[in-house]
């Protein structure tokens, strides 16, 4: 029987036999194969039988689905194929194999009344460089073992019980803001409290564009320990900061920066938390 093996750092953590039904994959708890990771969409992808083969199809996820290091929309699975979703790997097997380690086996979705789904946080933005890094880590884990791959990334050693922690540095926290100067949006000003704020026409967008033919996701503003950054959603969409087109994936925002994207112009700033 064909199976899917969910792996994290090259360790099998879940096994799903394929018996002809649809295997949904995502962060929502009603998925057959649930991956609780902020980089995974609520309903990220699905596996199903078609024409005597099993097919993996991306469900228009925010960060995409990769099979054998290539981003896909839909692909026929072959024995040994490895799909990267967020930070997890899903391996497809169409033959009987013995896997060592403790795994949980899932036979399919539970029957009965469908429970009300929780409201998830927005899917975390996973930029192209980070996705490539995760792909490289998955390849390294498959060839030389997960522990070696993790060690190569430089995991910090644990603190000894007798070692006093360093005193915390208390900083005055500020939150980013965006004030719309031109263009049609659902509001005139925004406080950017989320780690990810999507600009677009999508219902999940934190900054909703009202133009008729606006893209579902035009750009994203995400915050990190280093500050706020803006990135376009694709090569066809241009994002300008102070009249300069953003190149190289992302641009850090500073107070007073003027942002232009898909017909809107806005000013970035800070306010006290």
pLDDT single digits (tens) 235-267? 788 999 999 998 867 899 999 999 999 999 999
pLDDT above 90 (res 42): no
CA distance 179 to 271: 12
- % helix / strand / coil in the chain, to the nearest 5? 10, 40, 50
Mean pLDDT over 15-27 rounds to 87
Confidence of residue 129 (pLDDT cuts 50, 70, 90): low
Q: What is the pTM of this model?
A: 0.42
pLDDT above 60 (res 125): no
pLDDT at 147: 39
CA distance 251 to 81: 35
Q: 222, 172, 151, 61: which is closest to 207 by C-alpha? A: 222
Confidence of residue 111 (pLDDT cuts 50, 70, 90): very low
Per the prediction, the chain carries an average pLDDT of 77
Confidence of residue 212 (pLDDT cuts 50, 70, 90): confident
CA distance 232 to 41: 19
Q: 114, 135, 146: which is closest to 7 by C-alpha? A: 146
Burial of 120 (0-12, 13-18, 19+ CB in 10 A): middle
């Amino acid at each position: 029987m064909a199976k899917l093996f969910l792996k994290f750092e090259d360790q099998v953590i879940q096994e799903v036999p394929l018996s002809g039904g649809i295997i949904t994959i995502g962060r929502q708890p009603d998925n057959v194969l649930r991956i609780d990771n902020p980089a995974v969409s609520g309903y990220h992808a699905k596996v199903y039988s078609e024409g005597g083969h099993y097919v993996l199809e991306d469900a228009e996820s925010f960060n995409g689905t990769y099979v054998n290091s290539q981003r896909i929309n839909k692909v026929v699975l072959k024995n040994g194929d490895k799909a990267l979703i967020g930070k997890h790997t899903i391996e497809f097997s169409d033959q009987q194999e013995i896997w060592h380690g403790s795994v949980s086996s899932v036979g399919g979705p539970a029957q009965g009344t469908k429970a009300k789904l929780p409201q998830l946080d927005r899917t975390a933005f996973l930029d192209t460089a980070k996705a490539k890094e995760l792909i490289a880590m998955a390849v390294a884990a498959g060839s030389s073992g997960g522990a070696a791959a993790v060690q190569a990334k430089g995991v910090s050693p644990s603190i000894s019980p007798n070692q006093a922690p360093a005193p915390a540095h208390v900083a005055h926290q500020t939150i980013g803001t965006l004030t719309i100067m031109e263009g049609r949006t659902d509001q005139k000003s925004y406080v950017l409290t989320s780690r990810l704020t999507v600009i677009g026409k999508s219902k999940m967008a934190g900054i909703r564009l009202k133009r008729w033919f606006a893209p579902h996701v035009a750009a994203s503003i995400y915050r990190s320990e280093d500050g706020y950054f803006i990135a376009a959603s694709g090569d066809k969409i241009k994002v300008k900061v102070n009249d300069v087109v953003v190149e190289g994936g992302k641009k850090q925002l500073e107070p007073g920066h003027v942002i232009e994207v898909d017909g809107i112009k806005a000013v970035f700033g800070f306010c006290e938390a």
